[in-house]
Structures are given as structure tokens and as C-alpha cells.
Amino acid sequence: MSNDKCIKNSFMDSSLFEKKFSLERMLEIALDLSAEKDFDMLMQKILIEAMDICHCDAGTVYVLEDDHLNFHTVYTRSLGIPAAEQSRNANLPPVPLGRKNVCACAALDNKKINIADVYESKEYDFSGAQKYDAITHYRTGSMLVIPMDDEKDEIIGVLQLINSLDKDGNIIPFDPAYEQIVSALASLAAVSLNNHQLAQEVTDTLHSFVEVMVDAIDARSSYNANHTRSMVKYASKFLDWLKENRDDWTFTDEARDAYLMSIWLHDIGKLVVPLEVLDKPDRLGVFRKEIKNRVDIACLMEKVDFLEHPDRINECMDKIDKIKNAHDVIEKANIAGYLSDERIEELKSFADIMCKNADGEEIPLLNEKEVEAITVRKGTLTDSERKVVQSHVVYTKRMLDKMHFKGIYKDVPFWSGSHHEFLNGMGYPNKLTADDLPNESRLLTIIDVYDALTAEDRPYKPPMPSEKAFEILTSMRDDGQIDGALLSDFIESGAWIKDQE
């Protein structure tokens, strides 16, 4: 079937010609468009309304970007394919801002262009239109092109209509009487496009800020940045699973973006945590070198002592052996996964071993802070150091609150700042309970704990197998700390499976 016959058949029984585009009709259109929140759907509605007004077969909304016009919304009625699908599948090259395309001319000159037949027009070079006809297997006849300018009179796009039709489906020129009405629609499209671009710029700025913050954390503590990125991957896959498997809790694209942002930012408070605590790889941390220097000096001083007093050689050698043996025990305990009561008592006794410093003064082998550090039963942090690390949640909430998140992002500070809270009120920093914690916070906690247990790049512990991590999470569920239903969903989703597995 020829292109002309397709066009005619698509309009034979159309009721479009019965519409009266009065002021009341335009107000109805404006109200309908103002209620549309989906930007792509809004552009589609504007295009179709313009096509209805002019009784035409095809149209395009172009968006100006740098030195070219991008196809944003395209629709050809005679194809018999829904407008949304046509726009989604339109794989057309951008239109350069030159004189070979009438839409580009309209943008360059900020001028309405109404052509009766593009193949007979001598005023413009329509080689571009003919090229696109060849690509799309279409025959462009009449054309109305309206530039879209914003409140600053800057061109931000073009509305192009093709092939106005009479009641019998024959291609006719566009009635000049419709130009003002279509221009009004083009203005609505321009305002919407401009608002959309401004909103996108704000969103892009926000995402750029997030990237900067994560890079800053990465620069201080590489393992913590990996932790955040891993959590985002787990959460993304889990939200995909929710979309496919659950009806009672799903995320819109905007809500998804806000939630993932809360994960990206959940550890931002660690920027103010001292690095020697945040990245402490063993129990002693900065104390280890001090103790080693103390041991070396003490042993050297004992050697000097017996060289000066040969009769004390046995006593001095026994002291050297005692100090070195104690240091060996300290070194092993420093990186041990767990310390027994017996080992802790032995380590405490080393504070009673007196040794000489470079000035010949008697000092304990271990001071009070070093004893506190080396006798941590499990992990690397003392109670005071753990409180310093835990304070990052307070700083996270405080820092994000100062950003004044609004709209879909308004809950980001709370979600980010509550990922260490437990349902039974035993978490921190605010001892919140189940009544205070929405699903978003509960899920973030589960993912945070899971990755902390299974992370492969922690300097102070080996990674835990997934099975063992889920045993611990199940125990936390039984203790009333985390949400059991969400934990089951997370396990079932397989979102925790690493890509290489």
C-alpha cells in the first residue's frame, strides 16, 4: 500500500474534523497538560494536540542540544503504532544546525515556517528532509515548523508538523489560521521542557555532589568506598526483584533514585572520623611502632648494662628474654581474631614489666592506653574508638540535614542516618524502635550488615562466607534487631550474589 493510501485510510473515519478549537478547548488542553507529571508523556500529548488541531499525519518535537537538534518525540499516525512506542524506538540521527534541514532553519532564524510542499519549495533546501524520508520510507508533503523559545527568548527546541490532511485524507497545505494556536502549544512545550531541563540540572548537580563525596571517602579509606558501591549494587538488584515479584512495596523511578542516593550518602559522616580509627587494621594501630621502639631500646639498655657490669650478664639476658617473649605474645595478640580470658590476663600482666628508656628511666612495657587496645577481645576497636566510629551516623544526619533535601529526596537524611538503628531499640545513635523505622531504613540496615560481614577488602578481618553472614543476620532477626520478612525477601531475591559468582 502506498504512503498516500495509508494516510488516507488513517483519516477516513476520523472525528478530528468535528473538534472546535475554541478558547474553552485550549483551556481544557492547558489544564490537561498541566496535570501531566511525566515529562515524556507531556511532550507526547502536546505533539498529538498540535497534530489534532492541524489535522496532520505526523509530527516531531526536537530538543536543542549544543549544535544539533535531537529527536525527542515522534509520531506518525499512518504507521498505526502507538506514539510512545514510536518515540521509544526512533533511532534517528540528530539534525545538525545548518541550512539543509528546515527544522534547523526555524531554530536558527527563530521563525515560523509554513511550506505547502517541501519537494516543490525553492525557498529552503529540503535535502535533509528528503534524506530523512529515505530513512523512514515516508513522503513529506506540507510542513509547519514552530520554534520553541523559553522566557528568555532562547530557542530550546522545535515543534514540526507534517502533512496536513483534508477530510478525505489528501495532503493539503497547513492553514495559517492554526499557526498561533500551535505556537501557543509550542510555548507550553517550551516552558515544560525548560522546567524539565532545570530540574534535571539540579538532579545532576546533586548526583555530582554525591560522586564527589564518595570520591572523598575513597581517598581517605578505600575499603569504605567499596562498601558503599557494593551496597548500591545489592540494593539496585533487590529493587529490581521487588518490581518483578511484589505489589505491596515497589519503587517508582524517582523513589528508587532517592533511596539509592541515601545509600550512596549513608557513610558520609565518616569524613570527620579520624583515619587512624576508621581504618585501624589491628588492635594496637599507631601504638605498635611505639611498643616496638620501646622493646628495642629496653633490650639495648640491658646489653649496655651487662657490658658495664659483666657480673649482671645473666640477670640482663633474662630481662631481655622476658621483654622479647612478651613482645612476641603482644604481636600475635595484635592480629588474633579472638582473645581468651587467659590471654587477656597475660597481656595485662605485661604492664608490670619494667624496662629502661633511652634516659635510663624505668617505665612499664605497656602503658594504660596500650593495655586497653591490646586486650580488645574481638575486633580492633576499643570502646572509646568504637564510639568515635559510631558517631559517623550522627555526622551523616547532621551534614545531610544542612542540605535541605526536598520533594522525593526529603527522607534521604533520615534513611541515611538510621542505618544502625535496630527494631528493638538497641541500635544507635537514637535508640529508635520498629515504630520509627520504615522499610527503607530496615532494608538499608540489612544490606549494610551483610556487606560489612562479607567484604573482601577489610584490613582487619577476612571475608565471611554468605552462609555464615546469613546465620548472623538470622540471629539478629531472632533477637528482634532486624526485619525478618525483609531478610527473607533479600535472601530470596539473590541480590546479594556477587557478579563473579
Task: Output the pLDDT for position 13.
Answer: 40
Contacts of 276 (CB under 8 A, 6+ apart): 285, 286
Q: Read off the pLDDT of each residue in 227-246 and give the average, rounded to a whole number.
A: 93
Task: Output the pLDDT for position 477.
Answer: 97
Higher pLDDT, 203 or 353: 353
Going 161 to 34 to 407 to 154, the CA torsion angle's sign is: positive
pLDDT (tens digit per residue) in 388-408: 999 999 999 999 998 888 888
- Locate 37 and state its grid cell: 507529571
90-94, 177-181, 295-299: range with lowest mean pLDDT: 90-94
Task: Output the pLDDT for position 441.
Answer: 97
Matching residue, cell 525483609: 486
CA-angle at 405, arms to 400 and 406, nearest 5°: 165
Q: Is the pLDDT of residue 20 over 80?
A: no
Task: Output the pLDDT for position 391.
Answer: 93
Q: Is the pLDDT of residue 376 over 50?
A: yes
Q: Is the pLDDT of residue 18 over 60?
A: no
Task: Output the pLDDT for position 181.
Answer: 82
pTM recorded for the entire structure = 0.66
Instruction: Using DSSP bridges, classify how beta strands 155-165 and 143-149 pair: parallel, antiparallel or unpaired.
Output: antiparallel
Question: Distance between CA 61 and CA 54 in Å, rounded?
Answer: 15
CA-angle at 84, arms to 247 and 161, nearest 5°: 155
Question: Distance between CA 186 and CA 176 in Å, rounded?
Answer: 15
Secondary structure (3-state) at 57: strand
Per-chain mean pLDDT for the chain? 86
Q: Is the pLDDT of residue 254 over 70?
A: yes
Task: Output the pLDDT for position 222.
Answer: 60
Secondary structure (3-state) at 423: coil
pLDDT (tens digit per residue) in 342-366: 999 999 999 999 999 999 999 999 9
Q: Say which amino acid occupies 480.
A: G
List b or e across 334-352, with b for residues whose CB sees 16 or more CB atoms inside 10 angstroms.
beeeebeeebbebbeebee
Contacts of 146 (CB under 8 A, 6+ apart): 106, 112, 158, 159, 160, 161, 179, 182, 183, 186
* Contact by Cβ (8 Å): 423, 435: no
Question: Distance between CA 230 and CA 497 in Å, rounded?
Answer: 11
134-138, 226-230, 297-301, 423-427: range with lowest mean pLDDT: 134-138
Task: Output the pLDDT for position 22.
Answer: 59
Question: Distance between CA 153 and CA 163 in Å, rounded?
Answer: 28
Task: Output the pLDDT for position 1.
Answer: 41
Question: Distance between CA 453 and CA 282 in Å, rounded?
Answer: 17
Higher pLDDT, 325 or 152: 325
The structural domains of the chain, ordered by start, are 3-198 (3.30.450.40), 221-273+397-501 (1.10.3210.10), 287-374 (no CATH)
Burial grade of 63 (CB within 10 A; 0-12, 13-18, 19 or more): buried
* Contact by Cβ (8 Å): 38, 66: no
Q: Read off the pLDDT of each residue in 288-308 and give the average, rounded to a whole number.
A: 94
Q: Read off the pLDDT of each residue in 213-226 and give the average, rounded to a whole number.
A: 73
- Locate 158 and state its grid cell: 522545535
Higher pLDDT, 48 or 488: 488
Question: Distance between CA 492 and CA 238 in Å, rounded?
Answer: 10
What's 77-126 look like in SS3?
HHHCCCHHHHHHHCCCCCEECCCCCHHHHHHHHCCCEEECCCCCCCCCCC
Task: List residues bridging with 68 in a β-sheet.
Answer: 65, 96
Q: How far is CA 158 from CA 105, 182, 427, 488, in A?
A: 10, 12, 56, 51
Q: Is the pLDDT of residue 12 over 50?
A: no
| Residue 25: pLDDT band with limits 50, 70, 90 | low
